[in-house]
């Protein structure tokens, strides 16, 4: 992160956290017509590493397409029963961005703006001084005359709580000694490894005939030791590709724990002085763990609303019916009355992939949603919906 030499104590905007959401917002504010005096981006780390691989699907041009390293127009879906389908997803493409490329791209753009300053410091907390919000760091206190955007506060999802669903994974990028992969299609879900009731699958992104990223992924409440995911990947490489450890080099490693819970908090609006964004603001799609493209869409809308003075607008807009469907879906995955893989298998075997991709991005109509709902095993979904309704009834607490 390019650090500025003298940091003023007061700024129009302060971004606490300069990761994916913080830097994206900085980029949109910098590109907007909003006339701000200065913006301070605070992060405890220097953002220049390849710590994340971001993928998203879209059927149109997106802001950061210039950073896309690879695109796939086809996706594989492998069921537990070894049904292997390769789908064309046109007009969508599945796009991959490496975090180091993206950080460099955004920082280069921001460094051309003298109003933007970077500070490497640890944020210790937030408070108010009169009508202004302040951020306390280990490098001093800073005041925002307009807003603080917080992408560091933890989202309500307990790591040790098995009822709180998380997407958790370890990924290894390997380079083989000989060509073996087909880079024309990504493997979104390989459920052939799903031997437990937890929703687990292998996610494979081949970017050339010799390089691919393998992620052993769970949608479940219970985290595993790192060695577990790595052992699973290594045995998958033997089983699916006949690759022993002498056949490849591990060139990169990444890991993640992404919340898959829905917050019960009242939605934030733009009147607030401190606004949570990114994972912290609940921007992750709870049923998939994806948030890169959603974050872009939500932040573009947020900046548009700031620019046009619509301060009453909600930061993280989601339709109630979509939220209810997510809630039921998550409950089915938590309760494990049915294998998680079965739900995705039914969806992919009975519907066009384009419809599912639009559904997962909350772009489907109510009629399309109802059609999709009839394609999943109905009993566990009805049981989950019933339980949720029962829990929400206003029974007096003992
Ligand atoms: C390995 C990995 C792969 C992912 N892949 C995808 C994907 O393919 N597609 C997708 O849509 N989503 C993906 N995600 C989910 C999501 O897009 C990312 O987690 C994304 O980085 C979230 O953005 P964020 O700004 O909320 O958090 P971050 O990018 O993590 O930014 C938060 C920042 O806050 C800083 N910070 C935290 N605490 C403090 C503090 N006290 N003081 C100062 N700074 C602090 C951190 O250093 C960090 O830079 C992935 C997540 C991970 C972990």
Which of 100, 171, 258, 281 most suits a substitution to test ligand 1, by most atoms within 8 Å of the C-beta? 258
Q: Are 50 and 100 in contact (CB under 8 A)?
A: yes
pLDDT per position as a tens digit, 262-292: 888 888 999 999 999 999 999 999 999 999 9
Q: What is the pLDDT of residues 51-99, one digit of tens each?
A: 999 999 999 999 999 999 999 999 999 999 999 999 999 999 999 999 9
Q: Report pLDDT for 263.
A: 84
CA of 20 to the centre of ligand 1 (A): 6
Q: How far is the CA of 19 from the centre of ligand 1 (A)?
A: 6
Hey, whose CA ends up nearest to atom 49 of ligand 1? 19
Q: Which of ligand 1's atoms lies nearest the C-alpha of 293? A: 11
Among the residues of the chain, which ranges form H helices?
20-31, 99-111, 226-241, 292-307, 320-335, 340-350, 353-360, 366-373, 378-391
Probe residue for ligand 1, chosen from 21, 46, 50, 52 as the CB with the greatest number of ligand atoms within 8 Å:
52
Select from 145, 156, 139, 143 the least CA-distant residue to 44.
139
Q: How many angstroms does the Cα of residue 396 sit away from the middle of ligand 1? A: 40
What's the 151 CA to ligand 1 centre distance in angstroms? 9
CA-based radius of gyration for the chain: 22
What is the distance between the alpha carbons of residues 23 and 30, in angstroms, rounded to a whole number?
A: 10
Residue of the CA atom closest to atom 38 of ligand 1: 152
- What residues are in contact with ligand 1 under a 6 Å CB criterion? 17-22, 42-45, 47, 52-56, 122-123, 151-152, 254, 256, 258, 278-280, 290-292
Report the 10 Å Cβ neighbour count for 350.
Answer: 14
Q: What is the 104 CA–ligand 1 centroid distance (Å)?
A: 16
Burial label, 190 (beta-carbon count in 10 A; 0-12, 13-18, 19+): buried
Beta-bridge partner residues of 176: 248
Ligand 1 centroid – CA 54 distance (Å): 10
Quote the ligand 1 centre to 338 CA distance (angstroms): 31
pLDDT in tens, the chain (398 residues): 555 558 889 999 999 999 999 999 999 999 999 999 999 999 999 999 999 999 999 999 999 999 999 999 999 999 999 999 999 999 999 999 999 999 999 999 999 999 999 999 999 999 999 899 999 999 999 999 999 999 999 998 899 999 899 999 999 999 999 999 999 999 999 999 998 888 999 999 999 999 999 999 999 999 999 999 999 999 999 999 999 999 999 999 999 999 999 888 888 999 999 999 999 999 999 999 999 999 999 999 999 999 999 999 999 888 889 999 999 999 999 988 888 899 999 999 999 999 999 999 999 999 999 999 899 988 999 999 999 888 877 766 55
Residue 80 three-state SS: coil
Locate the ligand 1 atom nearest the alpha carbon of residue 22 and give its number.
25
- Nearest by Cα to 255 from 51, 20, 47, 48: 51
What's the confidence (pLDDT) of residue 392? 77
* Nearest atom in ligand 1 to 52's CA: 1
From CA 100, how far away is CA 205, in angstroms rounded? 18
pLDDT at 195: 87
Confidence (pLDDT) at 117: 96
State the chain's mean pLDDT as an integer.
Answer: 94
Buried b (16+ CB within 10 A) or exposed e, 351-362: bebbbbbbbebb
Range 366-390 burial, b when 16+ CB lie within 10 A, else e: eeeeeebeebbeeebbebbbeeeee
User: Which is the closest atom of ligand 1 to the Cα of 99?
Assistant: 21
Exposed / middle / buried, residue 157 (Cβ in 10 Å: 0-12, 13-18, 19+): buried
Helix or strand or coil: residue 261? coil
- CA of 22 relative to ligand 1 center, distance in Å: 9
Backbone angles phi, psi at 375, to 5 degrees: -95, -5
What is the distance between the alpha carbons of residues 21 and 29, in angstroms, rounded to a whole number?
Answer: 12
């Amino acid at each position: 992160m390019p650090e500025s030499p003298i940091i003023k104590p007061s700024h129009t905007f302060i971004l606490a956290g300069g990761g994916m959401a913080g830097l994206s917002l900085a980029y949109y504010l910098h590109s907007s017509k909003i006339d701000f005096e200065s913006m301070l981006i605070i992060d405890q780390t220097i953002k220049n590493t390849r710590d994340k691989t971001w993928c998203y699907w879209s059927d149109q041009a997106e802001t950061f397409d210039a950073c896309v390293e690879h695109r796939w127009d086809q996706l594989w879906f492998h069921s537990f029963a070894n049904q292997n389908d390769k789908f064309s997803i046109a007009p969508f493409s599945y796009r991959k961005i490496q975090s180091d490329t993206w950080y460099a791209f955004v920082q280069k753009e921001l460094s051309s703006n003298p109003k933007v300053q970077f500070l490497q410091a640890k944020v210790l907390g937030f408070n108010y001084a009169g009508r202004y919000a302040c951020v306390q760091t280990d490098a001093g206190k800073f005041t925002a005359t307009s807003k603080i955007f917080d992408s560091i506060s933890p989202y309500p999802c307990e790591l040790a709580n098995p009822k709180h669903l998380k997407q958790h994974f370890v990924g290894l990028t390997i380079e083989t000694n000989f060509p073996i992969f087909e880079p024309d299609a990504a493997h979104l879900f390989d459920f052939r490894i799903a031997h437990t009731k937890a929703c687990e699958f292998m996610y494979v992104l081949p970017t050339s005939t010799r390089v691919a990223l393998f992620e052993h992924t769970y949608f479940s409440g219970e985290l595993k030791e790192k060695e577990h995911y790595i052992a699973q990947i290594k045995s998958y490489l033997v089983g699916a590709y006949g690759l022993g450890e002498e056949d490849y080099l591990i060139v990169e490693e990444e890991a993640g724990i992404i919340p898959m819970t829905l917050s019960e908090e009242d939605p934030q609006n733009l009147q607030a002085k401190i606004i949570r964004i990114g994972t912290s603001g609940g921007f992750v799609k709870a049923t998939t763990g994806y948030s890169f493209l959603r974050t872009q869409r939500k932040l573009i809308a947020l900046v548009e609303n700031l620019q046009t003075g619509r301060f009453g607008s909600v930061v993280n807009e989601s339709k109630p019916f979509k939220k209810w469907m997510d809630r039921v879906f998550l409950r089915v995955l938590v309760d494990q009355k049915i294998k998680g893989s079965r739900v995705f298998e039914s969806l992919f075997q009975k519907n066009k992939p384009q419809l599912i991709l639009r559904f997962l991005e909350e772009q489907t109509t109510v009629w399309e949603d109802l059609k999709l709902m009839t394609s999943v095993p109905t009993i566990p979904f009805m049981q989950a919906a019933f339980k949720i309704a029962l829990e929400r009834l206003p029974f007096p607490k003992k």
